[in-house]
Structure formats: C-alpha cells, structure tokens
Amino acid sequence: MLKIMQGNRFFTMFILSVITVMITVAFVFWGIGPKDRSSVAVVAQIEGKKITLDEFWRAYDNEYKRIKEQYTDPEEIKKLKLEDRVLGYLVDRSVILVAAQRADISISEQELQDAIINTPYFQKDGVFDQEVYQRALKLNRLSPQIYEDSLKSDLTIAKMSRLIGETAELTPEELKIIESFTGGNREQLTEIFRSNKNNQAVKAYVEGIKRSITIKINRELIS
C-alpha cells in the first residue's frame, strides 16, 4: 500500500485540520508503553472488540503524562480517578467502532494512505518519506500493520463522530445569541456552539448504543 505514497502530494484542508489530530493521537497512543504487563488479559470486551490490559496501560501512561503537566500535586491527580477516565474513554472508542461497523462506515485504503503521507512526522522537506516512516515506527517498536490498523480505527472514529455530529442542530435560543454578535466574534461563537452540540450528540449516541450491546468490564485488573 505504501509503494504509491511518494507520488501523491495532494490532500484536503480537512485532513490537515482534523484527521492529522487523530493521527498524532494514534501515534502517541501506540508509542512506547510498559512491556512487563500482560497483553493477553482483557480489561473490557465490547461485543467482539477487546481492550487488553496492555492497551489500557499504554493509554493510562499517556494520559497521566498529560495530566501531570497541569497538576503538580499527586493528591489532585488521584482525585481525577484516571483509571476510570481512561477505561471509559477506551470503552467509548470501542462502542463507536461497533456502531460504525453496524452502519457499514469504514476507511478506504486511499483515505488511510492520504492520512499517513500527510502526517508531518513522516515527512522530509515537506514530502512523505518512506524511510522516515519506517524509522519512526521502529523507534516506537511498531510494525506498519499494527500502526495502520490502529490509525484506521482512529480515522473510523473521526468519520463516525463527524457524521453523528452533523445531526445536531442549534436551538433557537443559541441562534439568537449568535445573531446578537457581529464580525469575527459571531463566527467564533458559532464554532463553539456547534462544537459543544456535536460533542453532546456523540455522547448521547454512544450512551444509546451502550444500552443495545453487551459490555463486560474486568475492573479488578486495573484496581
């Protein structure tokens, strides 16, 4: 799949502004994580999708590093209950993937290819470089297959979330507030309202799907 990448330099602004964020998350998420924990034990199972103990701790370590930059007091971090937060995040991801599968929403090889070749981390002088790509994955102890499968999931979640968000509509009250502003402030306020509305729509959709599928949690594995 990667053989034809170097000849393709075209991409959309949407990929730059939205999809690249998901790519970065995927790369960090699948980066170096604890190797002494079992990758076989299953923390949660959502329909046929499993969240392994290794996957959980990778996500936990990444979130902990991010939170640690904001909180210096260990007690404050403890109050955040990161284990529950990370597990909830991973379960919600799996739920969206289940929903996407049911709705026959997927990512094509072309979409995956575009996402990879337009990731700045894999470029040299602004152009995708396969040697840089292979070296970056090797440094993070990843095979192309593992990384691309993970990235495909992230892109699927992004696509599904966008489709769900498109169903959300602003209320008359919100539209009235927006109309009261002028210039650039109106555009910024509109984006804020729409972003919040989209997030609410995705959250409500996920909670609805949860009621129709089987979810098994082995909470004792991370206690």
The pLDDT of residue 34: 41
The pLDDT of residue 24: 45
- Tell me: the pLDDT tens digits for 187-196? 888 888 888 9
Cα torsion angle, 147, 52, 82, 193, sign: positive
Q: CA–CA separation, 129 vs 29, rounded Å?
A: 22
What average pLDDT does the chain have? 83
Full-model pTM: 0.75
Exposure class string for 156-168: b at 16+ Cβ within 10 A, else e: bbbbbbeebbeeb
The topology under which CATH files domain 2-166+215-222 is Triger factor/SurA peptide-binding fold (1.10.4030)
Q: CA–CA separation, 54 vs 192, rounded Å?
A: 36
The pLDDT of residue 189: 86
Which residue matches tokens 């949860």?
Answer: 210
Q: CA–CA separation, 23 vs 122, rounded Å?
A: 11
- Tell me: the pLDDT tens digits for 124-147? 999 999 999 999 999 988 899 989
The pLDDT of residue 203: 93
pLDDT along the chain (223 residues), means of 10: 42 37 45 45 93 93 92 89 95 96 95 96 94 94 91 95 89 87 79 90 94 94 88
Q: CA–CA separation, 17 vs 122, rounded Å?
A: 17
The pLDDT of residue 140: 86
The pLDDT of residue 191: 87
The pLDDT of residue 132: 96
